[in-house]
Structure 1
C-alpha cells in the first residue's frame, strides 16, 4: 500500500474497488411523472418560434473594438468574392456577346472616357486586386508559421495597407 500512495494512485484504486461493488448491486432509477400533450405537426413551428424569442441575443459586432487581426480577413474575403464575380461576369458577357466584349471594343470605349473616370476606374480595380494579393501573401506567411504573434500580425497588417496604397497610386499613374 505504501507504493500506491507514493505514486498517488490511492484514490483511483479505492474508486475502482467501490465501482465494482456498486456494479453488482441493483440500480434503482427514480420515476418522474411528466405531463405531455399531443400537438399537431403544424404546432412545432409555433413552439420553435416561441423558443427562439426567449433565447438571449448574442452581442453584435458593433460592441467589439476593430482590430487589425480580423478586419483585413473580412476585407480579404470580400475582395476575393468581388474579383471572382468580376471575372465570371466578364467571362459570361464575352461568351454571350463576343463581338461587343472583345479587347478592341473595350479599349475604344475606355479611350473615349474622361480622364477623371479613367483614374477612378483604375483605382476602383487596382485597390481590391492589390489588397487581395498582398493580404494573400500575408496569409501564406501565416501558413509558414511566420508573424504568428500579435505584434507580427499588426506589422504585416499595416504593411499590407501601405503596400496597397503605394501600389494603387503606382498603377493609377501608369
Structure 2
C-alpha cells in the first residue's frame, strides 16, 4: 500500500502543468505579448480578420435577404431615402470594399507562395507592401463606382 507523500517531497512531475514547467526551469513559449509586430504578422492577422468579417457580413445579408418580405431594390431605395451625406455613403462603401479587395489580393499573394515563388524575406515584405497599397487604391476605385 502506497503512503501519501508530504508536500515537501512532491516531485515536479506531480505538479500542475505551469507549476511543473516553472519548477523544471522551462521557459514560457513565445507569444504575441513579447514580440514587436512585424509586417508579415500584421498582414496575416488582417487577412484572417477580413475573411472572418466578410463571412459574417455575407452570412448576415443572406439570412436577412431570405427572411425579408421585401426585395433588394426596396432596401436600396430605403437607404437612398435616408438622404445621407456623401461622406457617410462613401465611407460606408469603402468600409465594405477594402476587406474584399485586401483579402482577394492577399489570397493571390498566398497562391504565388504556394507556387514556390517570392518566399525570400525581402520578396515577402515587398509583396506585402504591394498588396496593402493596391488594396487601398482598389477599394478607392470601387468606392467611386
CA distance in 2, matches of 1:141, 1:59: 29
Question: Which of residues 58, 61, 73 in structure 2 aligns to 1:104?
Answer: 73
Cα-Cα RMSD: 2.4
**CA offset at residue 173 of structure 1?**
2.1
1:121 positional shift: 0.5
Unaligned regions of 5+ residues in structure 2, if any?
6-13, 23-27
1:51 alignment partner in structure 2: 16
Aligned to 1:24: none
Deviation of residue 36 (structure 1)?
Answer: 4.2
Deviations 1:22-49, CA, capped at 9 Å, x for gaps:
xxxxxxxxxxxx7447xxxxxxxxxx9x
Aligned with residue 61 of structure 1, among 26, 32, 43: 32
SS at match of 2:112: helix
* Partner secondary structure for residue 69 of structure 1: helix
Instruction: Tell me, in whole angstroms, the C-alpha distance in 1 between the residues paired with 2:68 and 2:35.
Output: 47
* Equivalence for 1:120: 91
Question: Does the 8 Å CA contact 1:76/1:132 hold for their aligned counterparts?
Answer: yes
Q: 1:148 aligned to 2:119?
A: yes
3-state SS of the aligned residue for 2:117? coil
Checking the alignment, whether the CA contact within 8 Å between 1:110 and 1:118 is kept in structure 2 is no
Q: Which residue of 1 aligns with 2:9?
A: none
Between the two structures, name the one with larger relative contact order (CA 8 Å, sep ≥ 6): 2
SS in 2 for 1:169: helix
User: Aligned with 1:70: secondary structure?
Assistant: helix
Aligned length: 129
Please name the residue that 1:158 is paired with. Answer: 129
Question: Rg: which structure is higher?
Answer: 1
Do 1:68 and 1:153's aligned partners in 2 also have CA atoms closer than 8 Å? no
Q: Which moved more, 1:57-66 or 1:150-159?
A: 57-66
Distance 1:142 1:94 in 2: 37
Aligned-pair CA distance for 1:60: 3.9
Q: TM-score, normalised by structure 2?
A: 0.78
